[in-house]
């Protein structure tokens, strides 16, 4: 197994990011990347020796202070002041796995050689990544427009020996950790503060992290939904390929095919039915789950473009002898994609809760609330309440953040994306979907046991057997929080081939 990932101009795929994370690969700059970084930085240094006119963010102030010229002797101080003054995030700490992704994606963006950063700066970011020195970053503070300014300022503080980092399970002053490695603080050069702070790596890291989780939950929604179909004595006809070939949305076709595979060989699905149709939450799984799959692929396309892009400002084009101030830091594409992701994933939770409701309703020969002696036992009555509560919370979280904007920087930054808010909302929402699916699995597995001696497919029976190691059949009332939590952890620990998820 290759334990090193070389940062280069090659397209960074979602599967590659997954491999870097799960295989704990170390990062290293390719020789081409080093050359691009050095060339760009040298060009900028030479340009400043002869240039007399102001260049935004390089020898001027920032934001609405763009017209304030800064003397050459103060350029390093200018960049350091930028990092410190913008490090004003608040709220909860960003999860460490997302901080690590932020480091990876910032390094990737700087490697293209259009940002003007020093080689030493990029290599120190790589050192942080490889040694799990993870800057303390906060969830609140970014408008998702001039880049993720506040979060990226906190990401950058340790480079200059300031701020705090998570290291070996403790939050420590960055200065102390630098001393442990005998590293001197980086002396930021012209443009480096903006190269570090202008960018979309907060939104992008959340997006990539959540896409990986969402593809897994999409797969599990199909699998757990299939368990529910057999547990509810559902029909297989709505999953016939002929139905979906006449409305051939890719996700719909994939979902129907996957459910047919999961249920292949089931005794329950082939037994004679007393009912002609199933409720929509069962019958329309291909249409609903499939639409989410199509959305995930759209969101993936957006984020794949973003993580292989230069998103700081101004952009330096040494071959063309141009330094251009533009707006690649604006997070609108990501804000829209994250909002779409929220809506699509909320629907997986929405339809899952409806299946739970049907399973506990005492229909089709199942006992009310899926327990022996209902009345004395409340059984699985209240987990459906919990699922319903979470579904309603998700409806609120799914409200688009991107339709909002607010004026900042004294009117210079007069339209913002709010993509960072969309990212943190999506994080909460998608973890909520995981909880809803765990509750469906708890109910579906319980209901399936009442169908004995008939069995589901070999695949589903093996899946439930593995689940039963952590969550036994519920004979009578007990503290159901523990069963729900064990179900969540069971889902989290499942390892599913990334190729199967992205197929």
- Are 166 and 221 within one domain? no
Q: Which residue would you say has higher pLDDT here, 72 or 77?
A: 77
pTM over 0.85? The answer is yes
User: Which token pair is 437?
Assistant: 């699916």
Q: Domain for residue 317, yes or no?
A: no
Give 231's contacts (C-beta < 8 A, 6+ positions apart): 359, 366, 443, 444, 445, 447, 448, 450, 451
Q: Rounded to whole angstroms, how far apart are CA atoms 128 and 124?
A: 6
Taking only the tens place, the pLDDT of each residue in 277-299 is 999 999 999 999 999 999 999 99
Last residue of a domain, one of 199, 216, 240: 199
Nearest Cα to Cα of residue 66 among 76, 53, 77: 53
Helix, strand counts (H, E) of the chain = 20, 9
User: Percent of the chain beyond pLDDT 70?
Assistant: 97
Q: Domain for residue 319, yes or no?
A: no
- Are 257 and 353 within one domain? yes
* CATH number reported for the structural domain that contains residue 285 in this entry: 1.20.200.10
**Range of lowest pLDDT (48-57, 139-148, 271-280, 294-303):** 48-57
Which of 6, 43, 56, 167 is catalytic? The answer is 56
Q: Domain for residue 281, yes or no?
A: yes
Q: Rounded to whole angstroms, how far apart are CA atoms 408 and 414?
A: 6
Taking only the tens place, the pLDDT of each residue in 344-364 is 999 999 999 999 999 999 999
Peptide bond into 113 cis (omega under 30): no
Taking only the tens place, the pLDDT of each residue in 165-210 is 999 999 999 999 999 999 999 999 988 998 999 999 999 999 999 9
pLDDT at 495: 95
Q: Rounded to whole angstroms, how far apart are CA atoms 412 and 66?
A: 9
- Are 372 and 257 within one domain? yes
- Are 104 and 143 within one domain? yes
Q: Domain for residue 321, yes or no?
A: no
* CATH number reported for the structural domain that contains residue 172 in this entry: 1.10.275.10
- Are 251 and 398 within one domain? yes
User: Percent of the chain beyond pLDDT 90?
Assistant: 89
DSSP state of 366: P
User: Which token pair is 173?
Assistant: 């002053």
Our answer to whether residue 280 is catalytic in this structure is no
- Are 154 and 285 within one domain? no
User: Could you give phi then psi for residue 255, rounded to 5 degrees?
Assistant: -65, -45
- Are 29 and 170 within one domain? yes
Alpha helices in 232-279 (DSSP H): 241-245, 250-263, 267-270
- Are 341 and 477 within one domain? yes
Residue 251: is its pLDDT beyond 80? yes
- Are 106 and 151 within one domain? yes
Confidence of residue 146 (pLDDT cuts 50, 70, 90): confident
Residue 373: is its pLDDT beyond 90? no
Residue 70: is its pLDDT beyond 80? no
Give 250's contacts (C-beta < 8 A, 6+ positions apart): 290, 293, 294, 297
End-to-end CA distance of the chain: 23
- Are 221 and 333 within one domain? yes
**Total domains present in the chain:** 2
Mean pLDDT across the chain:
95
Helix (H) or strand (E) holding 134: strand 134-135
CB 208 within 8 A of CB 105: yes
Last residue of a domain, one of 180, 199, 218: 199
Its domain, for residue 70, covers 4-199
Q: Domain for residue 320, yes or no?
A: no
Give 495's contacts (C-beta < 8 A, 6+ positions apart): none
Can you tell me which residue has the tokens 């808010």? 421
Last residue of a domain, one of 142, 164, 199: 199
Q: Domain for residue 318, yes or no?
A: no
Taking only the tens place, the pLDDT of each residue in 86-135 is 999 999 999 999 999 999 999 999 999 999 999 999 999 999 999 999 99
- Are 187 and 213 within one domain? no
Taking only the tens place, the pLDDT of each residue in 20-67 is 999 999 999 999 999 999 999 999 999 888 877 777 767 776 666 666
Q: Domain for residue 445, yes or no?
A: yes
- Are 195 and 210 within one domain? no
Confidence of residue 78 (pLDDT cuts 50, 70, 90): confident
């Amino acid at each position: 197994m290759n334990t090193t990932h070389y940062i280069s101009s090659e397209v960074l795929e979602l599967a590659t990011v997954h491999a870097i994370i799960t295989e704990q690969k170390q990062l290293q700059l390719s020789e081409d990347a080093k050359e691009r970084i050095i060339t760009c930085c040298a060009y900028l240094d030479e340009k400043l020796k002869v240039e007399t006119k102001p260049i935004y963010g390089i020898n001027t102030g920032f934001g609405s202070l763009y017209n304030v010229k800064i003397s050459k002797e103060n350029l390093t101080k200018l960049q350091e002041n930028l990092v410190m003054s913008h490090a004003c995030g608040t709220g909860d700490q960003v999860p460490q796995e997302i901080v690590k992704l932020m480091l990876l994606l910032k390094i990737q963006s700087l490697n293209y050689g259009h940002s003007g950063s020093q080689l030493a700066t990029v290599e120190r970011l790589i050192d942080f990544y490889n040694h799990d020195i993870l800057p303390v970053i906060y969830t609140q503070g970014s408008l998702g427009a001039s880049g993720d300014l506040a979060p990226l300022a906190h990401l950058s503080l340790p480079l200059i020996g300031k701020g705090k980092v998570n290291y070996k399970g403790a939050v420590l002053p960055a200065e102390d950790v630098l001393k442990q490695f005998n590293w001197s603080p980086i002396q930021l050069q012209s443009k480096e503060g903006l190269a570090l702070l202008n960018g979309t790596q907060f939104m992008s890291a959340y997006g990539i992290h959540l896409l990986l989780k969402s593809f897994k939950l999409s797969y599990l929604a199909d699998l757990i939904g299939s368990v529910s179909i057999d547990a509810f004595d559902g029909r297989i006809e709505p999953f016939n390929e002929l139905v979906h070939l006449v409305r051939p949305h890719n996700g719909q076709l994939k979902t129907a095919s996957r459910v047919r595979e999961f249920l292949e060989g089931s005794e329950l699905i082939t037994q004679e039915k007393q009912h002609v149709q199933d409720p929509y939450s069962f019958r329309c799984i291909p249409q609903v789950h499939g639409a989410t799959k199509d959305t995930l692929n759209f969101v993936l396309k957006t984020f794949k473009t973003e993580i292989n892009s230069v998103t700081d400002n101004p952009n330096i084009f040494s071959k063309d002898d141009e330094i251009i101030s533009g707006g690649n830091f604006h997070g609108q594409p990501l804000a829209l994609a994250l909002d779409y992701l929220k809506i699509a994933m909320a629907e997986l939770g929405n339809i899952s809760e409806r299946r739970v409701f049907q399973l506990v309703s005492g229909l089709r020969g199942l006992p009310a609330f899926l327990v022996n002696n209902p009345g004395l036992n409340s059984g699985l009555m209240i987990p459906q309440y919990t699922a319903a509560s979470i579904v309603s919370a998700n409806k609120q979280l799914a409200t688009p953040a991107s339709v909002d904007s607010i004026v900042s920087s004294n009117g210079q930054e007069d339209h913002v994306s709010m993509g960072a808010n969309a990212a943190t909302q999506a994080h909460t929402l998608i973890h909520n979907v995981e909880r809803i699916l765990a509750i469906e699995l708890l109910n579906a597995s319980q209901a399936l046991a009442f169908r004995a001696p008939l069995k589901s497919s070999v695949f589903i029976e093996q899946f439930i057997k593995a689940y039963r190691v952590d969550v036994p059949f519920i004979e009578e009332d007990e503290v159901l929080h523990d069963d729900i939590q064990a179900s969540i952890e069971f889902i989290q620990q499942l390892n599913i081939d990334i190729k199967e998820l992205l197929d």
